[in-house]
Amino acid sequence: MITIFIDADACPVKQEIYRVAERHFAKGVALKVFVVSNSPIAIPRDMGALIERVVVGAGMDEADNWIAERARVGDIVVTADVPLASRCVKTAATVIAPDGRLHSEDSIGMTLATRNLMDSLRSAGEVTSGPKPFSPRDRSAFLSTLDQAIVRLTRAGFG
């Protein structure tokens, strides 16, 4: 079974994940989607056992910890949180950012270093531009990357 974990509190592509998962599930792929957040988030009611909402405690990294403790090879993690992405890449999960970037063992080190540098600059009072606005191109790239990941994992025997 392919499990998709969504770091859901600020995820802009939840609806897209639901649609892609439903389409693959209808084709016979064994899928389960966990929508993990610190507060209740609405999920589609008509998707029954395919989607499960998980509300964790209000602590800073509670959702991240819940996902990182469960993500394994054959799973997909959708997150914009770089430290969480790094933790999940180490467990050999497929990690996708909402803009469609696929994190890998080769890329996550530089991504994490850049994130930490920018965080240090902001802490020192430096004004940084922050993330770029989420665009239709990002949404399209995400859909393509997610679909390819599910197909690849299915062919590898996980779905």
pTM above 0.85, yes or no: yes
Residue 151: C-alpha distances to residues 2, 49, 102 (Å)? 10, 21, 15
CATH number for 74: 3.40.50
pLDDT tens by residue, 107-151: 876 777 766 666 776 778 777 666 678 899 999 999 999 999 999
Provide the 10 A C-beta neighbour count for residue 91. Answer: 15
Domain of 54, in residue numbers = 2-155
Q: Reply yes or no on whether the pLDDT at 64 is more than 90.
A: yes
Number of structural domains the chain divides into: 1
Residues 3 and 25: their CA atoms lie apart, in Å, by 12
Residues 104 and 156: their CA atoms lie apart, in Å, by 18
Predicted pLDDT of residue 117:
67
